[in-house]
Amino acid sequence: MNNKQFMYKAYGLTFAADFCIPGLPESQGLPDVIIRYSAVPESLEDAIITAIVFQVAPAKFLLNVEGIARYLIVGRHEIIIEPCATADETDVQAFLLGTVLGVLLQARGGFVLHGAAVNINGQALIATGVSAVGKSTLAAALCRQGHELLADDMCLVSFDGKGKPELISGYPLVKLWTDAVEVLGEKTSLLRRVRNRLEKYQVPVGKKVSGAAVPLRWCVELRRDNSKQVSIAKLPDAEKVTSIETNAHRYWFLSGRDQVHQAKCCKQIAAAVNGFRMSWPLEGFWLEDMVKKIEGVIDK
């Protein structure tokens, strides 16, 4: 029996896993969350919600990804995984670091924004927006300018003693599709795939994440539209709150903290950050222009 434990740090938590999770920063100390392989039931007897691929019960969340694995979150401290016999390890880990980690963060009371965040001179900028709008690609391009990646996809926000928002770093990988990888001048043949058969890659960018909380200073909502060039505009206060609410990463099936708390978090963030909306054309990448626009507003 293999008793070796792998220790990692992400989103301010220390994880102890039965197995290696490539891409997560190594760590040590007492774990906050245990991840282990073991038998996972096919269903939860006391389920409150039964949906297409998951069930929710008191202090339990069961995710069943057909042909890949069943994942069970128990309380706030344990993730049990039962992979399918034919599943590839990379595929099993994709959903662990995706939905399962997202649910765990929310179950632990975390406030998560859907976006990609970078550390610019000690302050965090988060790019938000709908799927496929270019958040990760922009973050990777900013890292090319020497900035540090804080998180991709799920951005955990906490609040300091004075109620100011801070970005808690995730792990130092962005997930990019082939065309974005090529635009950034990387070779897909040298990269690890997010899933075995997807043309989506884990791209290490910039320096390793520091693990520290970084004050959140800028929120930039990305939008692709029929514009002919990249433009950026400051958001009025009312729209800033709406933008943050719209991009809050919240699973509908977890009750967690109530909506009042969620709204309060959004307002607190909106009050502390400079909000922008950056529009860019539907065709092409425009990364150079986007980075210039970002640099133009953060200098002011």
Partner 1 sequence: MKGIFWLASYPKSGNTWFRAFLSRLLSQNKEALDINCLRTDGIASSRNIFDYITGLEASDLSAAEIDELRPKVYAYMAAQAPKPLHIKIHDAYTLLPGGQPLIPAGGSRGAVYIIRNPLDIAVSLAFHLGCNLDTAIAHMGDSEYCFSGSSRHLHSKLRQKLLSWSEHVESWTKGPKFPVKIIRYEDMHASPVETFTAVAAFMELAAKPAEIEQAVAAAAFKNLQQQEKQAGFQEKPANMAAFFREGKVGSWCSALTQEQVLRLVSEHRRVMRQFGYLSEQGEPVF
- Residue 216 touching partner 1 (CB under 8 A): no
Query: Across the strands, what pairs with 175?
Result: 202
At which residue do the structure tokens 């967690």 appear?
256
Determine the interface stretch with partner 1 among 81-89, 139-147, 212-220, 276-284 (rule: CB under 8 A). 276-284
Please report, as residue ranges, which positions from 42 to 81 form the binding site for partner 1 (by CB under 8 A).
51-54, 63, 65-66
Determine the interface stretch with partner 1 among 9-17, 158-166, 176-184, 258-266 (rule: CB under 8 A). 176-184
Question: How many whole angstroms separate alpha carbon 203 and alpha carbon 193?
Answer: 9
**Closer to partner 1 at the Cβ: 159 or 251?**
251
Candidate list 1, 4, 185, 252; residue touching partner 1; CB under 8 A: 252
Candidate list 1, 85, 132, 238; residue touching partner 1; CB under 8 A: 132
- Tell me how crowded residue 236 is: count the other CB atoms within 10 A of its CB: 10
Size of the site for partner 1 (CB under 8 A): 37
Tokens of 99: 């939905």
Determine the interface stretch with partner 1 among 13-21, 170-178, 257-265, 287-295 (rule: CB under 8 A). 170-178
Work out how close the CB of 284 gets to partner 1 at its nearest, in angstroms, rounded to a whole number.
9
Work out how close the CB of 116 gets to partner 1 at its nearest, in angstroms, rounded to a whole number.
13
- Residue 187 touching partner 1 (CB under 8 A): no
- Residue 233 touching partner 1 (CB under 8 A): no
**Closer to partner 1 at the Cβ: 215 or 281?**
281
- Residue 190 touching partner 1 (CB under 8 A): no
Contacts of residue 258, defined as CB under 8 A and 6 or more positions apart, other chains included, come to none
Q: How far is CA 118 from CA 36, 168, 245, in A?
A: 31, 11, 20
Candidate list 248, 281, 291, 298; residue touching partner 1; CB under 8 A: 281
- Residue 189 touching partner 1 (CB under 8 A): no
Work out how close the CB of 182 gets to partner 1 at its nearest, in angstroms, rounded to a whole number.
9
- Residue 251 touching partner 1 (CB under 8 A): yes
* Site for partner 1, rule CB under 8 A: 51-54, 63, 65-66, 94-95, 98-99, 103, 130-133, 153, 175, 177-180, 194-195, 197-200, 224-226, 251-253, 281-283
